């Protein structure tokens, strides 16, 4: 089974349909924390919803599209990263993340997203990766910045949440920029 060590006792691993019970329990811990920042179809409220989310990502991965990975800390699922969009034809992808409070502050999301970007650019030959987040999500913007992404613009009032429309930031990094950053590090 694929498992990538991050730091300490943290690992990055695929999330699959058979993880539905664990994913549902994780969402119970994370739901209130991530609901403002993550799409409503992802933040499910029960086991069937968790299974449905994992099944949608499995179907998209089978078509060489979106992918979903969990971050485990001490063996417990505390968050994850994903390709919300992945297109070799277009040469681009969008990555995202989520975490429960126990997963914050360890640098795991940035490291895990870096692994996704490295794979997308180096192994799959993509040219562009995007990061979308609500403009008031400072933690998410900080991850994009640490990944060497450039803020390309703000889509005004394009993120609806609980009857209020929020601005969305669009960040991106290009393969040559990623390689230059990796070489400098």
Residue ranges of domains in the chain: 4-184
Q: Write down the pLDDT at residue 26.
A: 94
Q: Write down the pLDDT at residue 43.
A: 85
| Mean pLDDT of all residues in 4-32 | 94
Q: Write down the pLDDT at residue 157.
A: 97
| Model confidence, pTM | 0.94
Q: How many Å apart are CA 125 and CA 111, to the nearest integer? A: 20
Instruction: State yes or no: pLDDT of 184 exceeds 80.
Output: no
CATH topology of domain 4-184: Aminopeptidase (3.40.630)
Residue-wise pLDDT tens digits, 114-153: 999 999 999 999 999 999 999 999 999 999 999 999 999 9
* Pairing relationship of beta strands 92-99 and 128-134 according to DSSP bridges: parallel
Q: Write down the pLDDT at residue 39.
A: 83
């Amino acid at each position: 089974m694929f498992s990538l060590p991050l730091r300490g006792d943290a690992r990055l691993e695929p999330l699959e349909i058979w993880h539905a019970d664990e994913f549902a329990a994780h969402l119970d811990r994370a739901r209130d924390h991530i609901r403002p920042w993550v799409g409503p179809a992802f933040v499910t409220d029960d086991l069937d919803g968790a299974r449905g989310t994992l099944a949608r990502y499995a179907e998209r991965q089978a078509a060489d599209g979106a992918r979903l990975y969990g971050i485990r800390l001490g063996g417990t699922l505390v968050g994850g990263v994903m390709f919300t969009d992945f297109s070799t034809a277009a040469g681009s992808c969008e990555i995202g993340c989520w975490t429960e409070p126990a997963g914050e502050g360890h640098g795991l999301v940035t490291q895990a997203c870096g692994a996704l970007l490295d794979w997308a650019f180096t192994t799959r030959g993509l040219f562009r990766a995007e990061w979308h987040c609500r403009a008031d999500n400072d933690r998410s913007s900080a991850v994009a910045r640490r990944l060497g992404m450039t803020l390309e613009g703000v889509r005004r009032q394009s993120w609806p949440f609980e009857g209020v429309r929020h601005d969305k930031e669009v960040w991106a990094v290009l393969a040559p920029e990623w390689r230059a950053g990796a070489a400098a590090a």
